[in-house]
Structure 1
């Protein structure tokens, strides 16, 4: 992977940048790493997992397909955005001062090498190893006569009835193809039924058909042998053009701009989004993928038709969409060892309790103490159960919930609907603009409205990204509130694959703050003062800046300064500048950044005291934790916040986000040790960023340490 990552051995000493400051005292563009190139470097770290011999074989295959999916989104959103900027004037708008045209050239160079490496891994590593375990994707020439006969019958019975070949002629212009759809361009000779000379046609592959087809066991001896839909169509494409000669058939895929444009002054967000969702399928073209055996004449014809240049062409040695190769193989020996998601001790015995009973009420537990869950090591069940208990509890008066990604089949949604039908005042703040989940969220909104819930869409221009649940309950002669605050979405599937924290609490000040956030989302008026939480776009950015300033002040007063920040991305310029200032003052800073990092660490005179690492492993790292020592050695009070917000412009300035403090000492220690120090010790899944902007995989010296494996052992085995 070294060649793909574009890396050379790490330099000795710190990288130097001259000059660090411009004429007016601002940090120069050289001090920053470009966001889009940093995003691409993260995708390469994902691709590297497909070569990791410590990962089981099917998991390596999974990482290969995840890389495909991630790259699709990268082109649909980031590359598409750069192309648009270039058309609008090719002016620099990035921290590092590069123009869109310069970025696109570098992205193309790196992405082409990466895709070439991706297919090399598939063909030379993954597929041969799968074959050793009797899992094969058979090519047409590898089929036995009996298998070919079965495939022919499958084509006529299952495939041909839903195919629609489209000739390209004056009466049939080039069809409008859906984003990322599989298509075939067919070269022809002869005349059709009307006597027309047709030399080209397009055959779209229906999305309703499976891309991978398992051959019957009686034809394979029970082995897991498959054929691709593309092979089935290719083998029998001449059946679609009777009386004509097929001289070529090649699969291709077109990627389009999939970002949604929504004005801030729309009257109805839901209706506006429904209109935009169709446009996403037919946005501007950004990438063309063809197979390596596609003739030059053919792909040049496609490039001209799509108004793309050759830098936007990707010739691949295999299926044009590896994501669709992933099949749910029943081969546990080739996957990560399964584990049982733990239940926090405070909630044990309540795993299946949906209606509060004597001795089984989660509300009783929370009146005594806060409870922390760390997904996926802890089950998502307590979150769902709390909602069900609230829905069925006659003493519960109201439930308020933010929804970013949940899905219509979510038990969260079902419990909220049940609560509304049971007469509770249910308010759902649904963020319709959660990328690629817009249609699902519109369905969720409709479902909850039909059940009698109040549904609001937050604030136009500010995505509601905070993860909040508030339950209002009458207890004796008073009203008491209970809250759940999280770093991740209310999505049971994500909770099995993403690392996230969730805090259950009845703390009056925190619950009052959560109540204030909901009031702002559903009503009008000025921001309500917060007691404990930090709230974007109002207090979170300034609060973080102040806490960094406090660490700087401690160092200037002859004490120690210490900051540890863990999140998915850091791009916001003022935060980065302040961290540079802290480093120059002598504050020791560790950043655990999963993906995008625009900060340049380990640069002499700029960031010697900042280290940046990324953890890429079995689970997607998604927790956001901010730690500030605050002179704890001299009696100061340490600060630790969990948050829904990354350190990005959009999160801190243009979204509704929440960072919540961990007040319980035991839970504080658990997050500090498990969620921060544990990851700083990892030498198996960790990558470190150097001052040149390159990521270097940490090489274990001595005993290996896998942070995620440690948590599996610590939480799930006890």
Structure 2
């Protein structure tokens, strides 16, 4: 992009110019490149590097299942549609194809040329068929006959055996045959589907492996080696892996349903058989067979990926649990608990003294569980209200809510059934809670409930008090160990009343109520944040110091981007920490030269959403469940809550400062949409924000 050619209109830059916006899908692919770069980083423990490779593959699966699928649909429904970046759906698909193929090629290069050799040097080996010893061959043949042969069901393709329905992302084989079977049939081809219950990597027993080694064989290698056993009397000419990725998003017509749960259940049944969006095939597969599969799935070559290795790379991470090598993994740590919470047996008494902020995973999630556990058994607690987005039925949070209901508390839970890829688990969770007499509602039809909040109503003397926990992340114990998030405990009267009102909106009917301190989408969050950006613009124009720091997962929403552009033009210093997608272009003269965008890719997944404003010395910091995306601003129920304690404000600003100084795990967004690593200046000490926070906050 030629920045000096930016169009001027009435001496002002046209902030709707398409060359001021980065395409969302291409930005998401750039994020996956940064994840994959961790797999090449020699400073990262080796098995964790393998994990990053698998994460990049899993992310790419979801990218095709959801994002590419939506662009394909748009190309059919409205082929002339143009987004803020000026690209039509067809143009997006062309660019996605080029970038996705480059990414996949790099993934297999990292696996074959870097990780497999380095793992072998650590005596962790993937044994190919031509490397099996005679003893290993015998063991694997017995494994095939005992464990695989009874459950494998090949399908010979003929008029009586049509091409089978292929499950989304399942491992399959297309087999070329000669000869005739017992009935005189020979179609020349068969399909074999590997059941999902089968492990994709098999560890050879110690007695079949040299001492000190961990030897593994891919399931596909075993099937290739003994495929003849499935076709008695016929000759197998070739056996090749393939995998199909399907559209896994689903649509529920909010205006045409009577029961949301039943509608979601019905759509889930079809998820494995959505439209095909990607085809992965073994690179050794003959062109004729490739063409046959392309025709069968009605797919063009731009969505064909010929791969040099397993077609389901993300399943390789199974070995991380199978290999006992702590020296090749991240050092374990024990998250801390704020001393006042750890010392005080009554968590409500501690919260009544002052607000608490938990910064996970550096600090423990256990106080959140304890908050609900004590609420469940305290005789003066009357009611508990909770939102659940991704939690899981087997959860201490869920157990506490069930215990509270059984103890006679009024327990209300708002479950978002349509949390993508967690729908089935959430349906199970809803049933489990309802069986315990918990009041379960599914939020507001047409709007996902993405807010993370819990309210405990407690009688103290003659008064009722609201205790709240508000969070940027989900009430999920496992992700609390992997995602960076903030959670606030408070018994502030106005904040508690705001949370009560939001729950009332979610569970009943009524008009929008005025909130004291919370910003809430789809009502006041977007306008509230834009207003705070405009306030910084006013301060800058009046010659006052002005600064904005935003930490989110994604920046996509066009009006927010334009507001940040205007802030930069006014001289406001804008620092953006954006983990994933960012459609804003920084560093453009006359538009965004005062904006810096950085992405932190480290041990933990950056998940917190923070909005900080200098406000002429009256600093404000808000934490939120919402990113700067259209869906968060206008199609979801989200909350944004203030951090009013100076002590807690300083903690968040300290963490943000570390992220902004990070010169080890930070990537800087360039005007052309690419990213480069933030490098240490000469003589500068290395700064790794996540590691420093871990050292500061762990127990």
The TM-score with structure 1 as length reference comes to 0.95
Q: Distance in 1 between matches of 2:526 and 2:374?
A: 36
User: Is the aligned partner of 1:553 residue 2:533?
Assistant: no
Matched with 2:694 is: 712
User: Is the aligned partner of 1:105 residue 2:94?
Assistant: yes
Instruction: Report the alpha carbon displacement of residue 678 of structure 1 after superposing the two structures with TM.
Output: 1.0
Q: Distance in 1 between matches of 2:80 and 2:599?
A: 31
RMSD: 1.4
Q: Distance in 2 between matches of 1:279 and 1:78?
A: 18
Q: Distance in 2 between matches of 1:593 and 1:16?
A: 26
Q: Distance in 1 between matches of 2:270 and 2:27?
A: 29
Q: Distance in 1 between matches of 2:560 and 2:520?
A: 16
User: Is the aligned partner of 1:175 residue 2:164?
Assistant: yes
User: Which of 246, 261, 277 in structure 1 is aligned with 2:251?
Assistant: 261
Instruction: Report the alpha carbon displacement of residue 167 of structure 1 after superposing the two structures with TM.
Output: 1.0
Structure 2 CA distance for partners of 1:442 and 1:641, relative to 1, 3 Å: same
User: Which of 644, 649, 653 in structure 1 is aligned with 2:625?
Assistant: 644
User: Is the aligned partner of 1:278 residue 2:263?
Assistant: no
Structure 2 CA distance for partners of 1:465 and 1:20, relative to 1, 3 Å: farther
Instruction: Report the alpha carbon displacement of residue 144 of structure 1 after superposing the two structures with TM.
Output: 0.8
Moved >4 Å (runs of 4+): 20-26
User: Which of 587, 590, 615 in structure 1 is aligned with 2:600?
Assistant: 615
Q: Distance in 2 between matches of 1:338 and 1:296?
A: 48
Matched with 2:417 is: 432
User: Is the aligned partner of 1:666 residue 2:666?
Assistant: no
1:603 alignment partner, SS class: coil
Q: Distance in 1 between matches of 2:637 and 2:176?
A: 53
Matched with 2:34 is: 45
The correspondence of residues 28-427 of structure 1 with structure 2, limited to 5 A, is: 28-222=17-211, 223-265=213-255, 266-326=257-317, 327=319, 328=321, 329-349=323-343, 360-427=345-412
Q: Distance in 1 between matches of 2:78 and 2:544?
A: 50
Q: Distance in 2 between matches of 1:197 and 1:27?
A: 62
Instruction: Report the alpha carbon displacement of residue 616 of structure 1 after superposing the two structures with TM.
Output: 0.6
- Please say if residues 254 and 446 of structure 2, whose CA atoms lie closer than 8 Å, have aligned partners that are also in contact: yes
Alpha-carbon displacement from aligned partner over 1:471-516 (angstroms, at most 9, x marks no partner): 0111111111100000000001101110000001111111110101
Alpha-carbon displacement from aligned partner over 1:277-309 (angstroms, at most 9, x marks no partner): 111100000111011111111111100100011
- Please say if residues 15 and 565 of structure 2, whose CA atoms lie closer than 8 Å, have aligned partners that are also in contact: no
Greater Cα offset, 15-24 or 467-476 = 15-24
- Please say if residues 15 and 692 of structure 1, whose CA atoms lie closer than 8 Å, have aligned partners that are also in contact: no
Q: Distance in 1 between matches of 2:222 and 2:124?
A: 18
- Please say if residues 192 and 198 of structure 1, whose CA atoms lie closer than 8 Å, have aligned partners that are also in contact: no
Q: Distance in 2 between matches of 1:284 and 1:196?
A: 32
2:150 alignment partner, SS class: helix
Instruction: Report the alpha carbon displacement of residue 198 of structure 1 after superposing the two structures with TM.
Output: 2.2
Matched with 2:667 is: 687
Matched with 1:356 is: none
Greater Cα offset, 688-697 or 399-408 = 688-697
Q: Distance in 2 between matches of 1:198 and 1:238?
A: 16
2:502 alignment partner, SS class: helix
- Please say if residues 6 and 13 of structure 2, whose CA atoms lie closer than 8 Å, have aligned partners that are also in contact: no
Instruction: Report the alpha carbon displacement of residue 25 of structure 1 after superposing the two structures with TM.
Output: 5.2
- Please say if residues 46 and 63 of structure 1, whose CA atoms lie closer than 8 Å, have aligned partners that are also in contact: yes
- Number of residue-to-residue matches in the alignment: 691
- Please say if residues 251 and 267 of structure 2, whose CA atoms lie closer than 8 Å, have aligned partners that are also in contact: yes
Instruction: Report the alpha carbon displacement of residue 27 of structure 1 after superposing the two structures with TM.
Output: 2.1
- Please say if residues 487 and 501 of structure 1, whose CA atoms lie closer than 8 Å, have aligned partners that are also in contact: yes
- Please say if residues 484 and 608 of structure 2, whose CA atoms lie closer than 8 Å, have aligned partners that are also in contact: yes
Q: Distance in 2 between matches of 1:16 and 1:533?
A: 42
1:601 alignment partner, SS class: coil
- Please say if residues 65 and 247 of structure 2, whose CA atoms lie closer than 8 Å, have aligned partners that are also in contact: yes
Matched with 1:677 is: 657
Structure 2 CA distance for partners of 1:276 and 1:238, relative to 1, 3 Å: same
Q: Distance in 2 between matches of 1:345 and 1:651?
A: 35
Q: Distance in 1 between matches of 2:9 and 2:266?
A: 47
User: Which of 470, 473, 496 in structure 2 is aligned with 1:511?
Assistant: 496
2:615 alignment partner, SS class: coil
User: Is the aligned partner of 1:18 residue 2:6?
Assistant: yes
- Please say if residues 341 and 716 of structure 1, whose CA atoms lie closer than 8 Å, have aligned partners that are also in contact: yes
Q: Distance in 1 between matches of 2:284 and 2:154?
A: 21
Instruction: Report the alpha carbon displacement of residue 137 of structure 1 after superposing the two structures with TM.
Output: 1.3
- Please say if residues 428 and 455 of structure 1, whose CA atoms lie closer than 8 Å, have aligned partners that are also in contact: yes
Alpha-carbon displacement from aligned partner over 1:362-410 (angstroms, at most 9, x marks no partner): 0010110001100000111111111111111111111100000011111
Structure 2 CA distance for partners of 1:348 and 1:541, relative to 1, 3 Å: same
Instruction: Report the alpha carbon displacement of residue 16 of structure 1 after superposing the two structures with TM.
Output: 3.2
Q: Distance in 2 between matches of 1:664 and 1:561?
A: 21
The TM-score with structure 2 as length reference comes to 0.97
Q: Distance in 2 between matches of 1:187 and 1:320?
A: 19
Greater Cα offset, 263-272 or 222-231 = 222-231
Consecutive unaligned residues in structure 2, runs of 5 or more = none
Q: Distance in 2 between matches of 1:555 and 1:378?
A: 37
Instruction: Report the alpha carbon displacement of residue 553 of structure 1 after superposing the two structures with TM.
Output: 0.8
Q: Distance in 1 between matches of 2:81 and 2:36?
A: 29
